[in-house]
Amino acid sequence: MSRRLRYGVAASLDGFIAGPNGEYDWIGTDPSIDFAAMYRQFDTAVMGRKTYEVVAAMGEDAGMRGLDVVVFSRTLPPVAKRGLRIVNDDPGKILADLKRMPGGDIWLFGGGELCRTLLDAGLVDTIEVAVVPVVLSVGVPLVAPGGRAKLLLSDYKMLPDSGIVMLSYALENAVGPAPRIGYIKSQPSQKGGTVGRVVKRSAASKSSRRSR
């Protein structure tokens, strides 16, 4: 079976993956997310130039926790070394070739323009979004403008500590279903969340007062 190409990103509630100047300081973290387990799902990451420059500035560079990184750019000179390729070729052709090669899932790390290109080429299999509870109002969209793509929900997780909602969708004509979200550490039952716990405590307090 062909390898899956999975677009996995964090996005604001109103659908932006970065601020208007590339800001990402609004992306919080949650202690229940097992990032090591998340990275182990992939052996290759692909991204556009702007995303790569953000990653490189953070010190991750080509290593990205052991993943092979492919960067698509019209302006950066080509590079081919262990763990990193920077290419000026057509992303659709390269991804089609990568998907036919043996290996694990491929992480479409960003950004929205590259996702649009690969969506239009029919190569994206899943869209997996961590929805962060913030409204940016302006910024870099989750996917650049273009045609419609129908998605099928595979899994979701709510993280009460941060308010992040994890969503996993498969494209309608994908290679296979989207994976379950399996990189969340054990946490208390999500039934009712924080609000539910507050309501339960309030009800218990009222019951106690009535029994006096």
| pLDDT tens track for 142-170 | 999 999 999 999 999 999 999 999 999 99
Tokens of 7: 């677009």
Q: Is residue 197 part of a domain?
A: no
Per-residue confidence (pLDDT) for residue 196, from 0 to 100: 39
Q: What span, in angstroms and rounded, lies between the C-alpha atoms of 168 and 32?
A: 17
Size of the chain, expressed as the number of residues it contains: 212
Per-residue confidence (pLDDT) for residue 55, from 0 to 100: 86
Q: What span, in angstroms and rounded, lies between the C-alpha atoms of 93 and 50?
A: 20
Q: Is residue 203 part of a domain?
A: no
Confidence of residue 66 (pLDDT cuts 50, 70, 90): confident
Give start and end residues of each alpha helix (H) in the chain.
35-39, 49-57, 91-100, 112-120, 193-210
pLDDT of 63 > 80? The answer is: no
The residue-averaged pLDDT of 19-35 equals 92
Beta strands in the chain (DSSP E): 5-12, 16-18, 42-48, 68-72, 79-81, 84-87, 105-110, 126-132, 140-141, 151-159, 164-171
Question: Which CATH number do you get for residue 177?
Answer: 3.40.430.10
| pTM of the entire predicted model | 0.85
| pLDDT tens track for 74-130 | 999 999 998 899 999 999 999 999 999 999 999 999 899 999 999 999 999 999 999
Q: Is residue 192 part of a domain?
A: no
Q: Is residue 211 part of a domain?
A: no
Confidence of residue 204 (pLDDT cuts 50, 70, 90): very low
| β 151-159/68-72 pair status | unpaired
Q: Is residue 198 part of a domain?
A: no
Q: How many domains does the chain have?
A: 1
| pLDDT tens track for 161-202 | 999 999 999 998 887 788 999 999 976 544 444 333 333 344
Q: Is residue 209 part of a domain?
A: no
Per-residue confidence (pLDDT) for residue 60, from 0 to 100: 56
Cβ atoms 115, 108 nearer than 8 A? yes
**59: containing domain:** 5-187
Confidence of residue 209 (pLDDT cuts 50, 70, 90): very low
Q: Is residue 204 part of a domain?
A: no
Average pLDDT of the chain, as a whole number: 86
Q: Is residue 60 part of a domain?
A: yes
Per-residue confidence (pLDDT) for residue 206, from 0 to 100: 42
